[in-house]
Amino acid sequence: MRYRGLGLAGIGIAALAWGACDTDDLVRVNEDPNNPTTAPSAPVFTYATRVSMQRWFGSNPMNMRGPVLTVQQLAQNQYPDEDQYLRLDGTVTDASFINGYTADLKNFQAVVDAGKAVDEPLIWGPAQVMRSLVFAHMTDVWGDVPYSQALKGDAEEAIILPAYDPQEEIYAGLFNDLEEAATAMAAGGTQDLGNADPIYGGDGDKWRRFANSLRARYAMRLSNVDATTARAELNAAVSDPGGLIESNADNAQINWPGDGVYDNPWSVNNKSRDDHRLSKTLADQLVPFDDPRLGVFAQPTQCFLDPVAGCPPSPPEYAGLVNGLEANDAATFAKVTSRPGAIFYSTPDFCVDCESLDGASFPNFIMTYAEVSFILAEAAERTWITGNAAALYEQGIRASMEQWGVTDGAAIDAYLAQPAIAYQGGTAGLRQIALQKWIALYTDGVEAWSEWRRTCVPETIKPGPAAIINTVPRRYQYSIREHSVNFANVEAAIARQGPDEFTTRVYWDTAPEAAPTYPGAGCGVR
């Protein structure tokens, strides 16, 4: 089975590579056999990938109870505290911040160190790419975070209280790390991660494409604050001999075993909870245009499928829920708004009239051909690269349809032929690209939220009626534990970046008016 390594869930350690046995009995007396300090790189990579994907794509403050709500792909129909921004402060996101380092990054760093020690690029290269992905998520959520001094608590000169790096410097480091990994993996090696790699199965060529595609993603992120660097890094990624993700077969995704132990995180949440509905903001971009992805992203409403007392005379087939309602109001609309699609369910409890229940094994999409196509479409429209923006835009839509399992070619053609969907070019075209990227990023909350902050597309994202502030969060608050134990470095970051509040903008979000798609100061304001 491809992902046997997922069973080694208990490994969360810093040093790798089994050494020769120590025959000194006096030394062995002090060794705890139940808590090893070394392990092979492969299962540690598997473990780090699993826990990081569960964090950034799961039912927690970094996805279903955070960015997916903030960027209004889903809404909460009961217990809407996160939808009102009530439960997104530093006490709630504390574990995500801390464990992002101690579980995700620390283990990827361990694989990098071990792989470099034996000069095996196909061991350390993928780990460095994943480390870059997680660091990018961390800085995109919080802004300035520990980077250059992070992950050194067990170094010879240990750093227990790391400084927070400016986001601008973190991004420079990400570009260097991704370039280094892509270049090194081009040379190949004698070992790779094989079946312990739940993304590409050890395929170095696909890891190079993923590394270059991430570099292009983060280059475009800087477009409003440093267009010169953004353009240079994007062109470097495009021109790398390894290429970019070039089809859905290259998508960076984790295919969950679906064995009841290692399942798609949304399906795990949906086994026992019925907290989410499709957001009205997203539904309003799908329903009026007969978007073929609608029936994949969402279920028909309960009243439409099974009218009962209390249902309206003509219940809608698909409908979204307004974000940030009071709890009683949100619950009132539960039966006439759409749950997430059947592809995210593995039991029938909250999946009405579902023919199959394969949600446990549905993949998480980390980066896709569709997203790369939209990045290139924007770059072409800006004349940063040579290319046909209209063709790349359509390529992105078709790739997204295929990715989500839409096979009706006639329906896709009809969708693309609509005046509102057909590519218009210029600033209008950039808005279309941004909107379609936001739709295609469904389930990838941090990335969709980051793109919305960069483009303000769609403009309809506003705080809900019961939201505790009048502005959509531009970042989340720092860990409450970091405020306590790493006080001086947190305070230095706040002094540089701004107050530790939802409304403080991270570096790449400090010049929103530079975005061609910027609608004005009302962006994200209720």
Which domain does 311 fall in, by range? 265-357
Predicted confidence at residue 4, as pLDDT, reads 33
When divided into structural domains, the chain yields a total of: 1
Q: Is residue 291 part of a domain?
A: yes
Q: What is the mean pLDDT of residues 129-140?
A: 98
User: Distance (Å, rounded) from C-alpha 119 to C-alpha 329?
Assistant: 59
pLDDT number for residue 12? 42
Please check the confidence at residue 27 and state whether its pLDDT lies above 60. Answer: no
Helix, strand, or coil (residue 62) = coil
The CB density around residue 228, as the number of other CB atoms within 10 Å, is: 8
**How far, in Å, CA of 460 to CA of 475, rounded?**
19
Tally: H helices and E strands in the chain: 21, 6
**Mean of the per-residue pLDDT values for the chain?**
93
Class of residue 66 by CB neighbours under 10 A (exposed 0-12, middle 13-18, buried 19+): buried
Domain assignment present for residue 467? The answer is no
435 pLDDT band, cuts 50/70/90, is very high
Q: Given this model, what pLDDT does residue 6 score?
A: 38
Residues 171, 226 contacting (CB under 8 angstroms): no
Look at residue 91 and tell me if it is in a domain: no
Higher-pLDDT residue of 36, 83: 83
Q: What is the pLDDT of residue 17?
A: 37
The model's pTM is 0.93
SS (H, E, C) 134-159: HHHHHHHHHCCEECCCCCCCCCCCCC
What band does 10 get if pLDDT is binned at 50, 70 and 90? very low
The pLDDT of residue 11 is 37
Instruction: Answer yes or no: is 279 within a domain.
Output: yes
Among 14-18, 103-107, 299-303, whose mean pLDDT is lowest? 14-18
User: From residue 500, how far is each of 235, 249, 475, 523 by CA, in Å?
Assistant: 35, 41, 9, 21
pLDDT for 336 beyond 60: yes
User: So what's the pLDDT on residue 308?
Assistant: 87
Chain centroid to Cα 4, Å, comes to: 24
Give me the mean pLDDT over the 497-517 stretch: 98
Residue 192 maps to a domain: no
In a domain, 331, yes or no: yes
Mean pLDDT of the 489-501 span:
98
Query: Nearest 5°: phi and psi at 364?
Result: -100, 130
Q: How many residues does the chain have?
A: 526
pLDDT digits (tens, 9 = 90+) for 185-233: 999 999 999 999 999 999 999 999 999 999 999 999 999 999 999 999 9
pLDDT of residue 24 exceeding 80: no
- CB-based contacts of 418: which residues, under 8 Å, 6+ apart? 289
For the beta carbon of residue 95, count every other beta carbon within 10 angstroms.
17
Quote the pLDDT of residue 151.
Answer: 97
* Run of H or E residues at 485: helix 480-485
Check residues 438 and 20 and name the one with the higher pLDDT: 438
Domain membership of residue 249 (yes or no) is: no
- Separation of alpha carbons 511 and 508, rounded Å: 7
Would you list the DSSP string of 247-310?
Answer: SGGG-EEE----SSSS--HHHHHHHH---EEEBHHHHHHHGGGT-TTHHHHBPPPHHHHS--TT
What per-residue confidence (pLDDT) applies to 33? 55
Kindly tell me if the per-residue pLDDT of 25 is higher than 90: no
pLDDT at 18 over 80: no
- Sequence-distant contacts of 492-501: CB under 8 A, at least 24 apart: 492/163, 492/164, 493/143, 493/144, 493/145, 493/164, 496/144, 496/166, 497/143, 497/144, 497/166, 497/167, 500/90, 501/477
Of 124, 385, 455, 41, the C-alpha closest to 231 is 385
Which residues have a Cβ under 8 Å from the Cβ of 304 and sit 6 or more positions away?
315, 316, 317, 318
The region that residue 396 occupies, defined by phi over 0 for left and psi between -120 and 50 for alpha, beta otherwise, is alpha
Give me the mean pLDDT over the 164-180 stretch.
Answer: 98
Asked whether residue 289 is assigned to any structural domain, the reply reads yes
> How many Å apart are CA 324 and CA 526, to the nearest integer?
12
